[in-house]
């Protein structure tokens, strides 16, 4: 947990960043307010590298969303009205990171620092993987249902394409490398940098596939919404990362 002066700086910085996101129409005003509240909790409890990684995730998502936005709008596959994200989207992507930040509380904390770092990065790696897959994948001309492999319309729940899968991997890898750099910058170098990066990439990418599977099944059946699918998939990213960490620790 940050001391009071860094905590105040962190909260102010979070509020300014949220206001900027609203001003740039990346977030709706309500979504910006929610992001500021949850982001403040994250930076105060977990520290600046966690906030910085969250900001990089949001920035990457905005850039991906704005890419060829006019074309996406013409095909009616854009996010929001002008590429902005609403409060439901923000909540779906920030609840799990905030819960991981809350794990700093208690004595001893529920999670160790290294474990928290890799789980947090994996959660955001899923977010980037899913966003990249969606925002670039909708531009593909021949997506297919992940279960049946039958052609579907771009933007269909559970639809995947080679382009989307490639960018899903890029998104996950980008967050993994950014997380490694940020944690190292703030003096929290993982014991195994390569292991850290690989776990985050794999967890983020596989959770993106979970998202597609849930979309093709429960979401298309009306049992899940887009945002509850995102939330469950982010939880799966954390679960996958935790399993990989345990497996690697048990390896000879």
pLDDT in tens, 30-54: 999 999 999 999 999 999 999 999 9
pLDDT of residue 107: 81
pLDDT of residue 248: 87
* Contact by Cβ (8 Å): 87, 21: no
| Residue 228 scores a pLDDT above 80 | yes
Supply φ then ψ for residue 196, to 5 degrees: -60, -50
Q: What is the mean pLDDT of residues 5-10?
A: 95
Question: DSSP secondary-structure letter at 165?
Answer: H
Taking phi first (over 0 means left), then psi (-120 to 50 degrees means alpha), and beta for anything else, what does residue 74 get?
Answer: alpha
Size (the chain), residues = 252
pLDDT of residue 81: 63
Q: Is the peptide bond before 34 cis (omega within 30 degrees of 0)?
A: no
Going by pLDDT thresholds of 50, 70 and 90, the confidence category of residue 77 is low
Please, which residues bridge with residue 85 across strands? 27
pLDDT above 90: percentage of residues in the chain: 75
Supply φ then ψ for residue 185, to 5 degrees: -60, -35
Of the candidates 140, 139, 147, the one whose C-alpha atom is nearest the C-alpha of residue 216 is 147
Going by pLDDT thresholds of 50, 70 and 90, the confidence category of residue 110 is confident
* Contact by Cβ (8 Å): 149, 142: no
Residue with tokens 């887009």: 226
| Residue 252 scores a pLDDT above 80 | no
Write down the pTM of the prediction: 0.94
Indicate the domain borders of the chain. 4-250
Q: What is the mean pLDDT of residues 165-187?
A: 95
Q: What is the mean pLDDT of residues 53-60?
A: 94
Going by pLDDT thresholds of 50, 70 and 90, the confidence category of residue 223 is very high
């Amino acid at each position: 947990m940050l001391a009071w002066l860094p905590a105040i700086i962190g909260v102010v910085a979070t509020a300014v960043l949220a206001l900027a996101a609203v001003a740039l129409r990346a977030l709706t005003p309500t979504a910006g307010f929610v992001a500021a509240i949850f982001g403040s909790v994250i930076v105060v409890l977990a520290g600046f590298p966690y906030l910085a990684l969250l900001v990089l995730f949001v920035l990457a998502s905005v850039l991906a969303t704005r890419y060829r936005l006019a074309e996406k709008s013409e095909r009616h596959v854009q996010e929001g009205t002008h590429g902005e994200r609403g409060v439901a989207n923000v909540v779906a992507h920030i609840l799990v990171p905030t819960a991981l930040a809350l794990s700093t509380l208690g004595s001893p904390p529920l999670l160790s620092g290294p474990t928290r770092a890799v789980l947090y990065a994996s959660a955001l790696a899923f977010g980037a993987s899913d966003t990249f897959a969606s925002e670039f994948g909708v531009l593909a001309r021949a997506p297919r249902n992940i279960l049946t492999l039958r052609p579907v319309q771009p933007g269909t729940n559970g639809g995947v394409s080679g382009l989307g899968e490639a960018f899903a991997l890029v998104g996950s890898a980008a967050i993994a490398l950014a997380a490694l750099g940020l944690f190292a910058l703030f003096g929290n170098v993982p014991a195994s940098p390569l292991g850290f990066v690989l776990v985050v990439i794999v967890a983020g990418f596989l959770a993106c596939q979970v998202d597609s599977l849930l979309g093709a099944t429960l979401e298309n059946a009306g049992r899940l919404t887009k945002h509850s699918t995102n939330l469950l998939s982010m939880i799966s990213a954390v679960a996958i990362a935790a399993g990989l960490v345990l497996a690697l620790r048990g390896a000879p």
